[in-house]
Structure formats: C-alpha cells, structure tokens
C-alpha cells in the first residue's frame, strides 16, 4: 500500500517519486547448486546490505522470489538511478560463504 500512498502524495504535491526494481542474477542457480537454505541466507544478506544504504523515507521490499523493490519518494529518475547504482554495487561486493567455500 505504501506505493499507492506515495503516488497519491506525489500527484497531489507535484513531486517526483521513483521506483527501482532489483532482480538478483543467477539466483535459481544458487538454489539449485547450494539448496534453498543457502538461497534464503543470500536473500537476507542482500536485504541487510540494502537497508543501511537507504535514505530517510525510502522503503525496500522483497516483491518476488529474487526481486527487491525500492520506493524513492521526492526523487527524480536521474537521482534514483544514481542511488540504485550505489546499492547495486554494494550488493555486487557482498559475499556469502557456503559449506563448499563459494
């Protein structure tokens, strides 16, 4: 419901709102090769990586199997893209140790 509320506020006040969708590449392979418990650990790690990168008023949610959505109110598409890239890089630098070492 937060998205609908933010869109209504943005329309009423004529302010920008951006929505960023992250789809984790090769997530099915993680589940297939390492099992669902490791996949679940990976998703939690990604969430913990994103949360501290958010600014006040921003919201992140898992919206699909390996998809995360970021709601960025009062932010232009250009500025949201810059923030999204910063978060994407942080996710890309995150590692998860498994029993197999990878």
Task: Count CB-CB contacts under 10 A for residue 58.
Answer: 20
Instruction: Find the catalytic residue in 6, 66, 67, 85.
Output: 66
| Alpha carbons 83 and 95: distance in angstroms, whole number | 21
Q: Output the six-digit token pair for 35.
A: 């099992």
Cα–Cα distance for residue pair 67/69, rounded to 1 Å? 7
Residues with Cβ within 8 Å of 78's Cβ and at least 6 positions away in sequence, in order, are none
Active site annotation includes 66: yes
Catalytic residue annotation = 66
């Amino acid at each position: 419901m937060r998205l609908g509320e933010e869109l209504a506020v943005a329309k009423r006040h004529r302010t920008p709102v951006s929505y960023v969708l992250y789809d984790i590449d090769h997530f099915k392979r993680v589940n297939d090769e390492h099992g669902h418990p490791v996949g679940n650990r990976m998703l939690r790690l990604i969430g913990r990586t994103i949360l501290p990168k958010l600014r006040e008023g921003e919201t992140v949610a898992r919206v699909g199997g390996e998809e995360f959505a970021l709601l960025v109110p009062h932010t232009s598409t250009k500025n949201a893209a810059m923030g999204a890239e910063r978060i994407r890089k942080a996710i890309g630098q995150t590692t998860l140790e498994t029993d197999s070492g990878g």
